[in-house]
Amino acid sequence: MTTLWDNNRDYHSVANTDEIKVHNMQLTLAVDFELQQLTGQVILQFKRLQTCDQLVLDGRDLNIDTISDIQGNAVDYAVEHIDTLQGDKIVINIGKVIDEVVIQYRTSPNSQGLQWLTPEQTLGKQSPYLFSQSQPVNARSWIPLQDTPKARITFTATVTVNNGLRAVMSAANSDVMPTDGVFQFEMEKPIPTHLLALAVGDLAYGAISDRCGIYTEPAMLASALAEFEDTEEMILAAESLLGPYPWGRYDMIVLPPSFPFGGMENPRLAFITPTLIAGDKSLVSTVAHELVHSWTGNLVSNATWRDLWLNEGFTTYFTNRLVEKIYGEEQAELEWVIEFGRLKEEMTSMPLAAQTLPANVQHQDANDAFNRFTYDKASMFVHELEVRLGRKAFDHFLFDYVQHFKFQAITTETFIEYAKQTLLVQYPEAISESELMTWVYGEGLPQWFVGPTSTSLDKVDLALQQLKLGDSAAKLNVAGWRVHHWQYFIKQLPLQLTQLQLTDLDSVFGFSGSQNAELACDWYSVAIRNNYEIVLPKVAAFLGHIGRAKFVKPLYNELLIAGYEQQALAIFQQARAGYHPSLQVQLDALMQQL
C-alpha cells in the first residue's frame, strides 16, 4: 500500500508554522561548564497567519521553568513527549492578543545539539569548550522554537561566559573580547533555525581579508590560516557566479576533531572540521562547499528534510565550479569523477526505492537524508542541466533561481513548478518534462546519463593494471600524483587483496601513517575488509581522535562486517565520550545490534 505524504508538511517538527510565524527571538543565555548547561530565556515574537489561540513549539530535553507574556503574566502551557526523533511538543495558550512570549528555561547535559568538551579533549588542554550542532533537528535541544527549515527568524543574543573564554555565534561577531564576559550578537537577516550556532572556547582570531577570518584554538590558528588562505578568492569567484555575497562577513571557526561534519554553513560563522587541514590545500573544497551554501541553502532553503537535495545538489555542483575557477580544470574534473565514484558505491548498498532525489525520511531520522546519494545524484542532475543548456544559459538560470527564492524555503514540487515555467519554456529542446521528472522522482540514475571521466586518471588506471598483473608497488610510477589520484587509486583497489599485497602497498606508500584523513579512512576500509590486522591499533587511534561522522560511521561498519565486533565495541566504549551527542545516538543504535 502506497503512503500518501503531504509534501508541504515537515514531518520532523510539531510546530504549527501554518498558523503562526515566529519571526524574531531575543535570546539571553549563561554558559555553565560545570553543570554543562545553558540557562536563560528566549523571547519569541510572532504573527498569526490564521486565527488560533495556541503557539506550538519544538523542544527536546529542555527544562521549562516559566512561560509568560511580555508583561510578565504567566500563561498556561503543557509539554508532551512525542518520541525520540521529534522530541517534545510545547503547547502555549496565547489567547487572542498575545504576540510575544517569554520562556525561562535550562538545557540538559544530554542535549543532542550541544557538545561539552573537557580541557583534555581540546588541543590546548587548558580550557573547556562548547559548540552546537543544530542541523537537522537539534536546535530544539538548546532553544524552544519552531525547529523546521520552513521557520526563518532574525535574532539578538546576549551570552554570558564567566571563565574568560570567547563566545561566537552565527551572527555578527566581534574580534574584541569584552572585559565582563558578556557577548552581544545580532542577526538581522532571517535564517532557518537549523543554522543557529554557538561556540565557546579559548579562541584566537586571524584575518584572511577585510570580510573573512578564522576563529580557532591558538595552537591551530597559523596552520588554519595557511590552509584556508584562498577563502577570499573563493568568495570573489562565487560572487561572479551567484551575485554579491549576501551576509556581510564570512568567518569560519575550526572546531575540535569531535565536530561530526566536514563543515556546517552557519551564516557568518561556518563551522569547519580540522580534518581538512592536510597541509597542501587538497581538501579545501569543503570550505568552498560551505561558502556556496551562503546562496544555495542559507538564502534559498529546503522546506523539509525530504527536500535536502535542493541545498546539497546545487551546492555540490557549484563547489566544483569554484574549484575549477581557483585550482584549475584538472582538479575540478578529478573531484567530479571521485564524486561520481562515491555515488555509484552508495547505490550498491542503498535500496532502489530510496534512490530518488527527494529523501524518503518523513518517518525516519532526519539524519538519514544526509548521505552521499542526496548530495551526489542531485549534483549529477545539476551538471547535466549545465551540459544541456550550455554554461552561459545555465548560469543565468541559476542566478535567477536564487534571486527569485531568496530568503524562502521551498519544496521539491516548488522547484519543479519553477523549472516548468522557466527551463522548459525557455529551453524546450534542451530538456523535456519527462526527463526532468525522471531525474527527480526516478530511481537510480537515468539510463541515458553518462558519468564524468578524466584523462588525468589514465596513469592511475595503468598503475592499477600493473598491480593486477603482479607488479610490486615499488614498480609503479606515481610521480606527480595529487591527493585525488591517490583517493581514486585506493578506492579502485581490488576488493580482495592478499596480506603480502597489503604489506607491499603500505610499506611503499605509507598509507597507514597518512596525515590526510580522507586517504587514511579509505585505506583503513581496504585494510579492515582484508583482515590486515596490523592497522587495527591505528584504526583505534583514528576513531579515538576524530569524530567526523563521514569517517567514523563507515569504519565502525567495516569492523563489524569483517568480524571485529569485540574490537569495535572496545574502541567505541573508549572513544564514545569524545563524539558529538548526535553521533553517539547513531552509534549507540549500531552497537546495540551486537
Considering the candidates 217, 227, 290, 335, report the single residue annotated as catalytic: 290
* pLDDT tens by residue, 66-120: 999 999 999 999 999 999 888 999 999 999 999 999 999 999 998 999 999 999 8
User: pLDDT per residue over 222-258, tens digit each?
Assistant: 999 999 999 999 999 999 999 999 999 999 999 998 8
The CB density around residue 448, as the number of other CB atoms within 10 Å, is: 8
Fold type of domain 306-441? Neutral Protease; domain 2 (1.10.390)
pLDDT at 499: 96
- pLDDT tens digits along 173-205: 988 899 999 999 999 999 999 999 999 999 999
Element (H, E) at 507: helix 499-509
Q: Is the CB of residue 547 less than 8 Å from the CB of residue 258?
A: yes
pLDDT at 503 over 50: yes
d(CA 38, CA 403) in angstroms, rounded, equals 38
CATH C-level class of 203-294: alpha beta
458-489 tens-digit pLDDT: 999 999 999 999 999 999 999 999 999 999 99
Same-fold call for 12-112+130-193 versus 203-294: no
User: Are the C-beta atoms of residues 409 and 192 closer than 8 Å to each other?
Assistant: yes
Output the CA torsion sign for 562, 563, 564, 569: positive
| pLDDT score of 1 more than 70 | no
- Per-position b or e across 525-536, b if 16+ CB within 10 A of its CB: bbbbbbebeebb
Fold of 12-112+130-193: Immunoglobulin-like (2.60.40)
Residues 485-591, CATH architecture? Alpha Horseshoe (1.25)
**What is the model's pTM?**
0.91
Answer yes or no: 290 catalytic: yes
- Distance between CA atoms of 393 and 44, rounded to whole angstroms? 43
Q: Are 491 and 482 in contact (CB under 8 A)?
A: no
Break the chain into its structural domains and give their ranges: 12-112+130-193, 203-294, 306-441, 485-591
Q: Give the residue among 190, 185, 182, 181 at the shortest CA–CA distance from 163.
A: 181
Catalytic annotation present for 488: no
345 pLDDT band, cuts 50/70/90, is: confident
Q: How confident is the model at residue 593 (pLDDT cuts 50, 70, 90)?
A: confident
Give the strand order in the sheet containing 37-48. Answer: 63-69, 100-106, 37-48, 20-32, 152-161, 182-192
Helix (H, G, I), strand (E, B) or coil at 511: helix
Residue 4 confidence class, pLDDT cut points 50, 70, 90: confident
